Amino acid sequence: MTLFPNPTSWVHLDWVLLIVLAWLLIGLAGLVALRRLRLVAIVLFPLGALVSIGLMAVALSAAFAPPEVAVLPLGLPQLPFHLRLDSLSAFFLLLIGGVSAGVSAFAAGYFRQGEGTPAGLICLEYHVFLASIAMVVMADDAYVFMVMWETMAFSSFFLVMANHRIAEIRRAGYLYMLVAHIGALGILLCFGLLQANTGDYTFANMRAQHLSPFWASVAFVLAVFGFGAKAGVLPLHAWLPEAHPAAPSPFSALMSGVMLKIALYGILRVAFDLLQTRIWWWGVLLMAVGLLTALFGVVFSTVQVEMKRLLAYSSIENIGLMCAGLGLSLLFSAYGMHAYAALAMTAALYQMISHGFFKSLLFCSTGAVMHATGERSLGKLGGLIRYMPWVAWPTLVGVLSCAGLPPLGGFVAEWLLLQSFLFTTGLPSSFLDMLVPVMAALIALIAALSGYTMVKYFGVIFLGQPRDDKLKSAHDAGPWERLGMLWLVVGCIGLGLFPNQVIALLDPVTRALVHAGLTQSMADNSWLLVPVSMERASYAPAIFLLGVLSLFGLVFVLVRRLYHGRLRRVPPWDCGHPWQTARMQDTAEGFGQPIRQIFEPFFRIKRQHPSAFDVQPSYRVTVEDPLWYWLYLPVAHLVERVSKIVGLLQRGRIAVYLTYSFVTLIVVLLVVKR
């Protein structure tokens, strides 16, 4: 490793460090231009987007290069920063650069004067957040990993608290920070076990250790707990539906599109790289947690009536599917079925990068709608496709990708995941042979509900008639916002049309982690996506797209030639009722009512019935998370009671404190004597 001696001899790790330094300098420039919104928006955020594109280029080159290591003389004495850039790190750097480029461009046109934190301070927090995420995936020892992990947590906390004058946002930020630090404790304990009492916390030393199955299992469970808290898996998900709506939309996009995947990176690094043991029930545990999380997230997203909260629960669902894919890969790897492990791993990684683009796109479009209308409730929107077409059509691309429809990236990811769950007949356990296909059916149900949710999201916001007259004055997105969304749209489409090229990029990662890849099947079928063999399944995105375009073209030509001049526009059939209003449209509550009734045991439902004396009678149904009342509030009450008991020791008198010290000394002497 050559750290900046000669630019002509720089390796990839040098360039990544230079990019991290560039982000930090952009952030410091924002601190200098604290309240100069135009300078921050038009200059600094676009510069950050260009730096992100540079990170993409470096990551693409590093993905196929040998691992690079470096030791930086930073940190504490005898604790320098150990860094490593391998194929896994390069993949996540590519994800960080690709998503943040679009979000940074969108952010350049998003911010307004007088919205919470000064623009320059937001710029600093934003770019420190990006720099810390990039350093997390390059960390090669527990010390630098935790320093950067906490930097990521604190910078994202301040981003969530951008509009800190609102009490609800402060509560959301505190909840996020609490869960983040609980998870950090699990990660610290995990690293403590992995170093096997050697005192060496470098990842190279952890790779060299061979823990017993018991301690390896404890380390794995701690990793799932610690990183799962940041990813939002059950039951540590409660912060996510609160923090995402609280944060400004560009930050929500980065948190959902990037930060949640960094938590999954931690699980990948520990389970497939640092631990040398693979046990079958680890995979089953991760699959079970993932599928429960996915089902919980998608069911709750169907009944939400607030835009960003709906997308937050949808992110919980997507994270659950990724965990299920990683669990299946771990199960196959434990039984030595490396080809199938590579397929499941590829599906999970594809889901990560695809979700990064389409969910960031949806959060950005939601931010544009909120700025244009001043509303975040679905029940007060409608008909915006007429007034915001430049927001509507990118949103449609994101919705279709999130729903898993071809030929977009979301479909490829879910299709690969289903294929990997169906290739399980060779497992040595008959119980697992029966269980995994059942999980595949559950994934199909989750995918169907996800499509249902996306139809609701797009239809209620953009279709129909405006539910309020003020929506007719809604303005479309500005140039920078359009550019950012267009970048993310290109990502969604590219991931759908060029799956073989993306899988070739993922091949070094799967070969490093599970010792197999899909390159051979891709090379034998250049225009087909073939997971295992042509006899089992294949998919041709280019042919599918050509078929769809040909069908639309044929219909267009037939209509123009055969029915030209015969078309006339008339009002839709209204059952004989001549006065159509927006109140006759299906609402967000009505759209989700069938799902709410089917999955009613999942919810904690509060119904507010109208009174006979109400001037304007109303009926309201509130759907709440039961885990909040079954788990979080009881734990909070217990901690509060214990704190009150401990608080009795604080009398404020020095004599009492000296007595405590004397009694403690006597007890210690007695214990040592024994």
What is d(CA 101, CA 84) in angstroms, rounded to the nearest whole number? 24
Which stretches of the chain score pLDDT less than 50? 9
**What single letter denotes the amino acid at residue 473?**
S
CA dihedral 169, 173, 178, 181 (to 10 degrees): 170
- In 3-state terms, what secondary structure has residue 358? helix
Residue 183: left if φ>0, alpha if ψ -120 to 50, beta else—which one?
A: alpha
Give the start-to-end residue ranges of the domains of the chain.
626-673
pTM of the model: 0.89
pLDDT value for 399: 92
Q: How confident is the model at residue 661, as a pLDDT?
A: 83
> Using one digit for the tens of pLDDT, what is the confidence trace for 511-561?
989 888 877 666 556 667 766 665 566 677 777 778 777 888 887 777 777
Radius of gyration of the chain (CA): 26
Q: List the one residue out of 591, 619, 588, 593 whose CA is nearest residue 606.
A: 619
Cβ 627 vs Cβ 234: under 8 Å? yes
Measure the CA angle with vertex 468, ends 462 and 473; round to 5°: 75
Start-to-end CA span in the chain (Å): 54
**What is the token pair recorded at 70?**
């470096």
Q: How does DSSP classify residue 239? A: T
Q: What is the pLDDT of residue 537?
A: 62
How many residues does the structure list for the chain?
674
Cβ atoms within 10 Å of 252's Cβ, excluding its own: 28
Phi/psi for 512 (5° steps) reads: -75, -30
Nearest CA-CA partner of 265 in 480, 509, 70: 509
Rounded CA gap, 288 and 379, in Å?
35
Query: What confidence tens digit (pLDDT) does each residue in 100-158 have?
Result: 999 999 998 887 765 667 888 888 999 999 999 999 999 988 899 999 999 999 999 98
What pLDDT does 106 receive? 92
Those residues whose C-beta lies under 8 Å from the C-beta of residue 353, and which sit 6 or more positions away, are 91, 94, 95, 98, 409, 495, 502
Cis peptide before 428 (omega within 30 of 0): no
Q: Which two tokens stand for residue 228?
A: 């799962």
**Residue labelled with tokens 């040398």:** 276
